[in-house]
């Protein structure tokens, strides 16, 4: 070991940066307004009658939240009390539901719903005293649930006032505060007029500076000898301006206009289910990678002005970091399943996230699938796999059989990713519209089925490669569709064989690969 040598300049820089980071963080904490989440509210257990209506117990805003969810779902909801809505979100029954404020209120409630709904039942008796469970809400927000000595639940520090209310299959716990992301809570408070622009600007700059300085300090500490580490790790001794721009972009200091950021377009197909459309748009607009929304509309009447206004408001209010989310309607005079894959003129992204309006994926699952797609942008990446099977029976006249989920589960093999939840390249919309055989398009239109299988054939024909199944959580928020009708599997088998004839060969490529985020997996 060398002794008496000169002091390393990197250690000196690390000390200076760490001290600066500490002071910036202190400044940020001192200047930030406290965001009330109800955890510090004095609590007194209120006496309630034995059989009051559930709507009386959860309040008007709570009822509105519950009406957004189907009653037959085994979900748990941590609903804020009426007092909590007023204290933490400035929502008041008399004025928040009147006139122009009604849309704002509905959008806020939808956002709160994504933070507070868990897709399984959590009755209070299932949690022991001082036990804590951790679960994900619909938006992927982490909820830490425990029970205190009075048998009341604590969720992220917010205490319940009533537990185990029932509405249909749902379990409802009334909370003394609003459970939400800190960023959303701050935006609500600032929108309400509290805090001036100077404090908001200081908060943003200070928080950003703190993140940069802490990151630099971390790098300085973990790489005590810069020259040696640069040789070993392949780093340059001087970080170029382009690399700093990439670092700052990753830290969230640059907006969506930077060349290093490229998101995806949400392609959503809907038909006379406006509540589901509102829920879906309100949810996905909170996902960080979303840049554009394209709604396929094939109804006889155009979308109403209130609906368009609500969706635009949701896109504007839920977008993070001041990003702009483009929202457009593709209004079709003719009702055809082929409308789903019509070419989009002047697209702003290469990636398309095709989704049905009756299923919701947490943003974490969507962003993971998007990252997988970026590693293989010519193929389809999604959450719903299916398979084609070679018919071994001589009794069936078809050489191939369409296999549903159970066939995938049993064999561990798939060859299709359904477009009801998948990423693919924007170019395939152009190819579907302009290069797909006219007889095949007419077949899809006439049978009102199998447009998703046709897209799988198209992509596989272009790439000669299999799709990629990405692991993700799925929540169904609508009623069953055509897949629940009798004879559905037989019709899909007919489609597979018809498409083989149209393409002149079986283009689908089977695979056993599944993409899993190893950060949340114990065994992989």
Q: What is the mean pLDDT of each run of 10 residues along the chain (524 residues)?
A: 52 70 60 36 34 65 81 81 86 70 76 83 87 82 87 90 88 91 61 42 40 41 38 34 40 38 87 87 91 93 91 85 88 91 94 93 93 95 95 81 93 95 97 94 94 97 96 75 58 95 95 88 60
The answer to whether residues 23 and 62 belong to one domain is no
Residue 100, pLDDT score: 63
Q: Pick the catalytic residue: 88, 291, 357, 452?
A: 452
The answer to whether residues 297 and 166 belong to one domain is no
Residue 430, pLDDT score: 96
The answer to whether residues 334 and 423 belong to one domain is yes
Residue 10, pLDDT score: 66
Domain range holding 479? 264-385+415-483
Residue 118, pLDDT score: 86
Residue 181, pLDDT score: 79
Alpha carbon distance 439, 225 (integer Å): 67
Lookup: tokens for 347: 């697209």
Residue 259, pLDDT score: 30
| 45 located within any domain | no
Residues in CB range of 419: below 8 A, 6 or more apart: 340, 341, 354, 380, 382, 451, 452, 455, 456
Q: What separation in angstroms does the CA of 279 have from each of 44, 124, 330, 369, 436?
A: 35, 28, 19, 21, 33
For the chain, what is the domain count? Answer: 3
Total number of residues shown for the chain: 524
Task: Reply yes or no on whether 250 is catalytic.
Answer: no
| Residue finishing a domain among 138, 157, 181 | 181
Lookup: tokens for 454: 């046709």
Residue 120, pLDDT score: 79
The answer to whether residues 20 and 148 belong to one domain is no
The answer to whether residues 318 and 349 belong to one domain is yes
Residue 91, pLDDT score: 83
Residue 473, pLDDT score: 84
Residue 268, pLDDT score: 95
Lookup: tokens for 172: 């409802």
Alpha carbon distance 192, 385 (integer Å): 45
Residue 184, pLDDT score: 66
Lookup: tokens for 84: 């909590």
| 393 located within any domain | no
| 507 located within any domain | no
Residue 238, pLDDT score: 36
The answer to whether residues 228 and 142 belong to one domain is no
The answer to whether residues 71 and 177 belong to one domain is yes
The answer to whether residues 292 and 433 belong to one domain is yes
Residue 522, pLDDT score: 64
């Amino acid at each position: 070991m060398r002794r008496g040598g000169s002091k390393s300049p990197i250690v000196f820089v690390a000390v200076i940066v760490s001290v600066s980071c500490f002071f910036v963080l202190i400044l940020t904490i001192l200047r930030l307004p406290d965001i009330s989440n109800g955890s510090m509210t004095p609590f007194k257990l209120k006496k309630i009658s034995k059989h009051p209506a559930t709507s009386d117990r959860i309040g008007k805003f709570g009822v509105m939240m519950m009406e957004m969810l189907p009653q037959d779902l085994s979900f748990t909801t941590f609903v804020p009390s009426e007092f909590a809505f007023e204290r933490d979100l400035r929502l008041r029954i008399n004025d928040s539901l009147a006139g122009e404020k009604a849309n704002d209120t509905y959008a806020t409630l939808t956002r709160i719903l994504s933070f507070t709904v868990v897709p399984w039942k959590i009755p209070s008796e299932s949690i022991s005293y001082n036990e804590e469970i951790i679960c994900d809400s619909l938006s992927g927000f982490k909820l830490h649930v425990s029970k205190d000595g009075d048998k009341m639940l604590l969720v992220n520090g917010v205490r319940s006032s009533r537990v185990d209310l029932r509405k249909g299959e749902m379990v409802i716990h009334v909370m003394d505060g609003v459970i939400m992301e800190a960023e959303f809570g701050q935006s609500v408070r600032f929108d309400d007029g509290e805090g001036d622009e100077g404090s908001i600007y200081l908060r943003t700059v200070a928080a950003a500076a703190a993140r940069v300085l802490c990151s630099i300090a971390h790098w300085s500490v973990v790489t005590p000898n810069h020259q040696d580490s640069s040789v070993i790790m392949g780093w340059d001794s001087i970080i170029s301006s382009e690399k700093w721009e990439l670092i700052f972009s990753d830290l969230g200091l640059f907006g969506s206009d930077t060349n290093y950021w490229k998101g995806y377009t949400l392609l959503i197909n809907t038909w006379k289910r406006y509540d589901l459309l509102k829920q879906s748009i309100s949810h996905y607009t909170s996902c960080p990678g979303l840049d554009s929304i394209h709604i396929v509309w094939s109804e006889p009447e155009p979308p109403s002005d209130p609906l368009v206004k609500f969706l635009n408001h949701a896109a504007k209010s839920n977008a993070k970091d001041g990003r702009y989310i483009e929202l457009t309607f593709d209004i079709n005079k003719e009702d055809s399943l082929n409308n789903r894959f019509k070419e989009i003129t002047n697209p702003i992204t290469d990636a398309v996230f095709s989704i049905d309006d009756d299923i919701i994926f947490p943003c974490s699952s969507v962003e993971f699938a998007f990252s997988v797609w970026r590693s293989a942008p010519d193929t389809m990446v999604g959450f719903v796999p299916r398979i084609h099977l070679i018919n071994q029976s001589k009794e069936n006249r078809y050489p191939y059989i369409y296999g549903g989920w159970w066939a995938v589960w049993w064999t561990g093999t798939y060859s299709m990713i359904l477009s009801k939840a998948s990423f693919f390249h924007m170019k395939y919309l152009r190819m579907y519209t302009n290069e797909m055989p006219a007889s095949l398009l007419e077949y899809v239109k006439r049978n009102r089925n199998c447009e998703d299988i046709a897209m799988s054939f198209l992509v596989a024909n272009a790439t000669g490669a299999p799709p990629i199944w990405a692991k993700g959580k799925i929540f169904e928020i609508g009623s069953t569709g055509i897949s629940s009708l009798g004879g559905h599997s037989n019709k899909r088998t007919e489609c597979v064989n018809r498409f083989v004839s149209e393409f002149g060969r079986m283009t689908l490529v089977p695979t056993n690969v599944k993409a899993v985020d190893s950060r949340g997996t114990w065994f992989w």
